[in-house]
Amino acid sequence: MSTMETPTGPPPARRLLLGYVRPHRWALAAGAVLSLLTGVTGLLLPLVARRLIDDLGHDRSISGALLAMSGLVVANAAVGALGSYVLRRTAESVVLGARRALTSYLLRLRVTAVDRSEPGDLMARVTSDTTLLREVTTDSLVGLGTGGLTLVATVVMMGLVDPVLLGVTLAVILAAGSVLGVIVPRINRASRQAQDAVGVMGAALERTLGALRTVKASGAEHREERALHEAAEESWRQSVRAARWSAAAGNTAGLAMQIAFITVLAVGGARVATGAADIGTLVAFLLYVFYLMSPIQQVVGAVTQYQTGSAALARIQDALRLPAEPPARPAPLPSPGDGPAAVAFHDVRFRYADDLPYVHHGVSFAVPARGMTAFVGPSGAGKTTVFSLIERFYDPDAGRITLDGRDLAEWELPRLRAAIGYVEQDAPVLSGSLRDNLLLGHPEADEEAVARVLRTARLDELVARLPDGLDTLVGHRGTKLSGGERQRVAIARALLRRPRLLLLDEATSQLDAVNEAALRDTVAEVARTTTVLVVAHRLSTVTAADRIVVMEAGRVRAVGTHRELVAADPLYAELAATQFLAAAG
């Protein structure tokens, strides 16, 4: 049936499906053969029935025919059960393969792609869309194969029994086929929109649950609820539309078979009356028409089901088209002998997207190995962006960034990131235990190393106080910790890696004065063996730095020590005078 071609299902989606199915092709073939055998045992039944009627007509014993019929029925049931189990298992394996491939890919997504995507929608693609591949594999691929073959076999048998009646049947089926050609693409479109709406719902849900406290505090539950319900209703509407067209397709097929049945009965009856055919032939042919129903329903079901599946495949494919980092093996963490790293920016120009203004307009600075360098400047100056570029979350549009004199683009990505310890501005903590969070960047760290970073990050007292110690669960995004505790966990995590380059983005902004002073000493200590870059908001941190890079509006205004800059740079002098507190960003 040419209806497998749909305007919205491009060939690559089919190739994607075949890619997921290929590893299981033998299991699928075995399942298909078992299904076929089931069909064949059913197909033999009319022949036995004809013999039974013959036997009756000629006063012969019917026990042989009855025995054959019972045998066929039992074989039919047993082979059918085995076949459907094998097929379902294979379908689950196809879903598993798709989920594995998609989750691996999503973890490698470039940060630019993540910036542009809704995590909830991507989640829906992994959970909901892949599930739809199950039906595509069993019902569509196998249904089309076995149903199609059974259909052909039945038609051949019909031709052998009575070619004239076959012609009548085929005419009816062809008429129904052209009606289906109009209906089927509509199922595809509706399915795609239904799945898109599920994605929208996932995104809205993630947005709301991710900030439920803020939503509650803003009294915005009802508005968020409305958005969620709208997405759910849109999915309902589109699914109902798809169901309507699927039902129409199924009923068209069913109706066609009824018409074929009546027509065959009328034409066949006339042929029996004229003596062109005998009554046994007519009964056998009518049984074949009856048996045609199941493969035809199967093929039509396969085609309609494929529309839903190909809509899901297209969504999976869209996710697989997002830019991703090349697959790479994890790199070992630096060994103590590797020494600190030197970093330099050479006239770096960068913007987050082609349609956004430049954030860096030619940033240049050089940081030698070892020592502490502070980045200061008003909010939005581009300080965090400097760190994102060093981690290669983004690539500069022009200019060069070097680590140890080597262009970042020449570094193997895992190796580059293994050299760096990064504490992000909002000090993210992942759901799980404190220990999970500390070991995230260095799973092999021993207890002694963990105890050491707990002390240096001043977390040891907290851990001692907690009944479960390091096994305490921190909640989603670390909500069970205070802001300052989260920051110290993030710092401890970064230190545990013994990085060659430590990036601290306002990492102590939420600490009390005592803890802040202690951590300042820790960082100063670390800076003796490691290169430390800090985005600083407190004068105390800045004055301790070996050099200060003053940034403003995507440019480096000045570089120097505190003493030099207070005298030479008015912006810095002003920031220093207000203790950076007002201008922190």
| Binding stretches for ligand ADP (CB under 6 A) | 115, 352, 356, 359, 377, 379-385, 585
Q: Residue 216 corresponds to which tokens in the numbers above?
A: 């509650």
Regarding 41 and contact with Mg ion (CB under 5 A), the answer is no
Q: Which of 131, 126, 140 is nearest to 320 (CA)?
A: 126
Which CB atom, from 355 or from 446, has the smaller least distance to ligand ADP?
355
Task: Give the containing element (helix H, strand E) for 555.
Answer: strand 555-560
Q: Which does 514 bind (CB under 5 to 8 A by kind): Mg ion, ligand ADP, none?
A: none
Q: Which does 513 bind (CB under 5 to 8 A by kind): Mg ion, ligand ADP, none?
A: none
Which CB atom, from 384 or from 515, has the smaller least distance to Mg ion?
384
Which CB atom, from 385 or from 508, has the smaller least distance to ligand ADP?
385
Rounded least distance, CB 512 to ligand ADP, Å? 23
Q: Work out the number of other CB atoms within 10 angstroms of the CB of residue 358.
A: 15
Instruction: Please choose, out of 152-160, 418-426, 435-443, 483-491, the segment that lies near Mg ion by the rule CB under 5 A.
Output: 418-426
Rounded least distance, CB 532 to ligand ADP, Å? 17
511-519: long-range pairs with CB below 8 Å, 24+: 511/484, 511/487, 512/484, 515/458, 515/484, 515/488, 516/540, 518/458, 519/457, 519/458, 519/488, 519/491
Which CB atom, from 383 or from 497, has the smaller least distance to ligand ADP?
383
Rounded least distance, CB 348 to ligand ADP, Å? 12
| Secondary structure percentages of the chain, helix, strand, coil, to 5 | 65, 10, 25
| Beta pairing class for 501-505 and 531-535 | parallel
Q: Which does 468 bind (CB under 5 to 8 A by kind): ligand ADP, Mg ion, none?
A: none
Regarding 138 and contact with Mg ion (CB under 5 A), the answer is no
Rounded least distance, CB 38 to ligand ADP, Å? 56
Which CB atom, from 378 or from 484, has the smaller least distance to ligand ADP?
378
DSSP state of 510: T
Contacts of residue 408, Cβ cutoff 8 Å, sequence gap at least 6: 389, 390, 392, 395, 401, 402, 416
Instruction: Please choose, out of 242-250, 354-362, 399-407, 417-425, the segment that lies near Mg ion by the rule CB under 5 A.
Output: 417-425
The binding track of 419-438 with respect to Mg ion, each residue x by CB under 5 A or -, is ------x-------------
Task: Give the containing element (helix H, strand E) for 391.
Answer: none
Three-state secondary structure call for residue 497: coil
Rounded least distance, CB 381 to ligand ADP, Å? 4
Which CB atom, from 208 or from 384, has the smaller least distance to Mg ion?
384
Q: Which does 125 bind (CB under 5 to 8 A by kind): Mg ion, ligand ADP, none?
A: none
- Integer Cα distance of 424 and 427 in angstroms: 5
Q: How far is CA 90 from CA 129, 470, 567, in A?
A: 17, 42, 74
Rounded least distance, CB 585 to ligand ADP, Å? 3
Q: Work out the number of other CB atoms within 10 angstroms of the CB of residue 147.
A: 25
Contact by Cβ (8 Å): 27, 90: yes
Please count the residues of this chain forming the interface with Mg ion, following the rule CB under 5 A.
Answer: 2
Q: Cα-flanking dihedrals φ and ψ of residue 374, to 5°?
A: -105, 140
Q: Which does 380 bind (CB under 5 to 8 A by kind): ligand ADP, Mg ion, none?
A: ligand ADP
Contacts of residue 102, Cβ cutoff 8 Å, sequence gap at least 6: 125, 126, 130, 316, 319, 320
| Beta pairing class for 555-560 and 531-535 | unpaired
Rounded least distance, CB 386 to ligand ADP, Å? 7
Which CB atom, from 425 or from 540, has the smaller least distance to Mg ion?
425
Q: How far is CA 563 from CA 432, 545, 578, in A?
A: 45, 11, 16
Q: Which does 560 bind (CB under 5 to 8 A by kind): ligand ADP, Mg ion, none?
A: none
Rounded least distance, CB 414 to ligand ADP, Å? 22
Regarding 384 and contact with Mg ion (CB under 5 A), the answer is yes
Q: Which does 268 bind (CB under 5 to 8 A by kind): ligand ADP, Mg ion, none?
A: none
Rounded least distance, CB 356 to ligand ADP, Å? 6
- Integer Cα distance of 422 and 401 in angstroms: 17
Q: Which does 359 bind (CB under 5 to 8 A by kind): ligand ADP, Mg ion, none?
A: ligand ADP
Which CB atom, from 129 or from 506, has the smaller least distance to Mg ion?
506
Which CB atom, from 82 or from 583, has the smaller least distance to Mg ion?
583
Contacts of residue 288, Cβ cutoff 8 Å, sequence gap at least 6: 46, 154, 157, 158, 161
Three-state secondary structure call for residue 581: coil
Rounded least distance, CB 6 to Mg ion, Å? 47
Which CB atom, from 282 or from 374, has the smaller least distance to Mg ion?
374
Rounded least distance, CB 536 to ligand ADP, Å? 11
Which CB atom, from 425 or from 433, has the smaller least distance to Mg ion?
425
Regarding 508 and contact with Mg ion (CB under 5 A), the answer is no
| Beta pairing class for 398-403 and 406-407 | antiparallel
**Residues in contact with Mg ion by the rule CB under 5 A:** 384, 425
